[in-house]
Structure 1
Amino acid sequence: MASPPPLLTLTDELLEEIFLRLPGPTDLARASTACASFHRVITDRAFLRRFRGIHPPPLLGFVPRGQDGFYPAQPPYHSAPLARAVADAADFSYYFVPIGRWLKPWRPRDLRQGRVLLECLPKYDERYHFHSVVFLSDLDLAVCDPLHRRYVLLPPVPHKITAQHGLLVDFDAFLAPTGQDEEGTSFQVICTARNETNLFAIVFSSVTGHWCIAASPSWSCLGTEVAFDKLAYPDYANGCFYWTQDWFGKLLMLDATKMEFSIVNSVPSSNLIEGNINSGIVTGAEGPPLMFFFGTHSEDDSSDLLHITKLNSSEPSGEQHLERIIPLARKYRYSICGAVEGFLFLHGFPEGQHSVRRRRHSWNVPNREYLLLDVKTSELKKVCEMKHDFFSVHAYFGFPRSLSKPCI
């Protein structure tokens, strides 16, 4: 009797091609637990880069701005199993980061590509999550990877860098988007500040370990004689950061690839007359970024109207035009709580209910829903429910620890 033919041996290259064709990260996570060789191939950094190029990291949950904690996506949202795995493995209390100079808790300032930018300030109002920094050198910053519990403490901005520019105020720090280096561990932090005559972008690079002034245009060169104030919490789209200044009817833009500031005329004047400052800027399906803001209710008061304006700095008239309107059923009172490329995040609480801030200690407070709006399809999905009113959140996109490499 003839012996059976030998089993076909699958090389690593063949396994990679098979794994790349899996429907998504949940299936890949299951495959990685099948055997040691599968796990070795799947967790290779080069393979994970290829997989992410085909399957973008899913939304796993939210990190509230200014507070510790992680709120994972919940069923029936498709990434809920992965979100639970991240919630169990990561440390979003940031206890693994050494205490700063001011002996106060670290607070999340920004989140991007799995990294969290933390700040520690000498003055911090717990009630309103508002801070005031007198000197830039007072700002303690750290960048951490909560999933792998790694961190980098940033040096203070040297006084010699800013001393020649007098008193700088209205500091804001945020993570810059980075390309994938070989190890995927390099990052940049941008700190903006201003004085009466100039606007500054001061950049820290993890490669050099130093701060430097990357841009310092005058307000007059930007086309405005009035300095923008309170430059906090920019939106990011298409390689640029945007700050809304609704009372000026303008947007401030920082091109992160060129480190250049510019002014873009903002939303239609009708929105400014209504005093609406709840907005978000995201990447559209193609072309310029889109600005979302709430307009008036529909005529029969049955829905909120989410207005969309296409930001086009080349428009000859300088005026932005309304692109389209998305009606939202008046089941909830909505507000925009975050934006990333391609997605807008909405916070909703039942119509007719007061904000939880007025009923913080009540056990009967109804849950707030946190929803995702896909800009390309206009589809609205519920991500999770909470009993907390977080009017500003960071979205956490990624994979569980078994499919991730440290990013610090």
Structure 2
Amino acid sequence: MSSQLPTPPPPDADDPPCAPNSDAPPSPPQLQVSLPDDILEEILLRLSTAADLARASTSCTSFRHVVAPRSFARRYRSLHKAPVLGFLRADFYAAQSPHPSAPVANALAQAADFAFSFLPNPACWSARDVRDGRVLFSAVSVSEGRGDFIDATSNTFVDLVVCDPLSRRYIQIPPVPEDLADSVQHCGMLDFEPFFAPASDDVRADESSFKVICKVLCENKVAVFIFSSHTGKWVSIQHHGLGALSNEVVDALYARCGLHRRHYAHGCFCWVLEWMDKLLMLDTREMKFTIIDLPPNSHGGRLAIVEAGEGMIGLLNIGMRTLDFYCKVWRNKSKGTKEWQHSTINHPLPNYHWCIIGADEEYLLLRGISLDWPWFGSSSQQRPDIEYFALELKTLLLERMYVSKNKMMHAHLYRGFPPLLSPPSI
């Protein structure tokens, strides 16, 4: 039997209309057709990936209106780390599937000019650093070629350019003035290393500006020169003596042991001085050098400098299926022991021979070769697959990016936004 309530009869046409019921709930307010721009901006800023933001910006005019200003791009970059798109050596190696950035990386590879044919005499430049989609080049002779960092080292001041391969624009940096250069050119100049300064944390900063730091290593001192695109001028920082170092350390510095692998933590650029258990640190806030001792028997090729909390510096040593972690207090105002504390982190790393070939603030670029490959006693002439991974330092998430037969000794991580979100950066 149906339990449906009976339907009331329709009202008679002669009946008077019912009086309004004062106790009835008010009718719901009408929904807004559109959100205010400031609220919409906050929503779009919380999209997790740049690809999602690109798709949203193409869906309607109001979204594009909010996303278009450069102030929005600056805020988005401050809230989300730039995705790893590949790495750069002599060529650009786009992240391959199944890496999550593979579609965007392939689009970037097709849209940008990674042959850098727009540079004057493109064969005469060698990549020295990459940051936010920009590439810093230094001049080398035609005979040395372009690609490997070692080929680009110089014991003299050389020309520099900063370029954007996506917009195909570049800026040639003026040479270091003679009065500044003379202060080190007669001090046994051994190596000239240019690299980008860290990006500003100020979201109001002009994203088109940049700074280049040049570390000049001499026989008994280290000097720093800084170029600002905002002022268009070079400044020189006070020289720092290396008199406390032994002759062996100076000889190793001359041989550039470890100096081609630069790390960054707590506002400091760091260089592991291999085979002597030393770490050279440049504090970019005070522009001062510090040399500290490393734990004994540190393996420079598998050692990364990382942040380990306020006033703490950490060393991450990549071993066989484990990560050895060392940390110590290194700033005077911090409390705690000043000796290295060691712990082991179990990590499902593949059974590979690992080497760090690149690094930035948030990622390591790793080269891995399987130890299961029959290195000895094999009649096979085939070369093993060499795999390249990005390791996120905070989460220790390991993502394979590229597989090749070529064994690269050094490369630059390339991180940036998809083409749709990359306005001309220079």
| Corresponding position of 1:258 | 286
Cα–Cα, structure 1 residues 181 and 99, in superposed 2: closer, same or farther, change >3 Å? farther
Cα–Cα, structure 1 residues 95 and 284, in superposed 2: closer, same or farther, change >3 Å? farther
Is contact 2:125–2:146 with CA below 8 Å preserved after alignment? Answer: no
Gaps of 5+ in 2: 1-29, 376-380
Of stretches 86-95 and 384-393 in structure 1, the one that deviates more from structure 2 is: 384-393
Count of residues in correspondence between the two structures: 377
Q: Which structure would you say has the larger Rg?
A: 2
Is contact 1:291–1:310 with CA below 8 Å preserved after alignment? Answer: yes
Shift of 1:201: 0.8
Shift of 1:41: 2.0
User: Could you give the per-residue CA deviations for residues 332-359 of structure 1, whole angstroms, max 9, x where no partner exists?
Assistant: 322112222233222112325489xxxx
Cα–Cα, structure 1 residues 159 and 59, in superposed 2: closer, same or farther, change >3 Å? same
Aligned-residue identity in percent: 37
Does residue 218 of the first structure (1) align with residue 245 of the second (2)? no
* Equivalent residue in structure 1 for 2:79, among 54, 79, 82: 54
User: Could you give the per-residue CA deviations for residues 81-110 of structure 1, whole angstroms, max 9, x where no partner exists?
Assistant: 22222222222211112227xxx4322111
Shift of 1:135: 5.0
What's the TM-score, normalizing by structure 2?
0.79
Shift of 1:176: 0.9
* Equivalent residue in structure 2 for 1:291, among 315, 339, 357: 315
Shift of 1:56: 2.0
Shift of 1:294: 4.1
Aligned partner letter, 1:116: V
SS at match of 2:103: helix
Gaps of 5+ in 1: 296-302, 356-361
Cα–Cα, structure 1 residues 210 and 187, in superposed 2: closer, same or farther, change >3 Å? same
Does residue 369 of the first structure (1) align with residue 369 of the second (2)? no
Cα–Cα, structure 1 residues 156 and 164, in superposed 2: closer, same or farther, change >3 Å? same
| Corresponding position of 1:184 | 207
Is contact 1:280–1:338 with CA below 8 Å preserved after alignment? Answer: no
| Corresponding position of 2:409 | 391
Of stretches 199-208 and 321-330 in structure 1, the one that deviates more from structure 2 is: 321-330
Is contact 1:308–1:323 with CA below 8 Å preserved after alignment? Answer: yes
Cα–Cα, structure 1 residues 216 and 308, in superposed 2: closer, same or farther, change >3 Å? same
Is contact 1:16–1:42 with CA below 8 Å preserved after alignment? Answer: yes
Cα–Cα, structure 1 residues 202 and 326, in superposed 2: closer, same or farther, change >3 Å? farther
Shift of 1:262: 1.0
SS at match of 1:217: strand
What's the TM-score, normalizing by structure 1?
0.82
| Corresponding position of 1:323 | 343
Cα–Cα, structure 1 residues 127 and 80, in superposed 2: closer, same or farther, change >3 Å? closer
Does residue 173 of the first structure (1) align with residue 194 of the second (2)? yes
User: CA separation in 1, counterparts of 2:419 and 2:154?
Assistant: 39
| Corresponding position of 1:300 | none
User: CA separation in 1, counterparts of 2:229 and 2:310?
Assistant: 32
SS at match of 2:124: coil
User: Could you give the per-residue CA deviations for residues 149-193 of structure 1, whole angstroms, max 9, x where no partner exists?
Assistant: 221111222333232441322111111113155431111111111
Is contact 2:263–2:361 with CA below 8 Å preserved after alignment? Answer: no
Cα–Cα, structure 1 residues 158 and 196, in superposed 2: closer, same or farther, change >3 Å? same
Aligned partner letter, 1:292: L
Aligned partner letter, 1:214: I
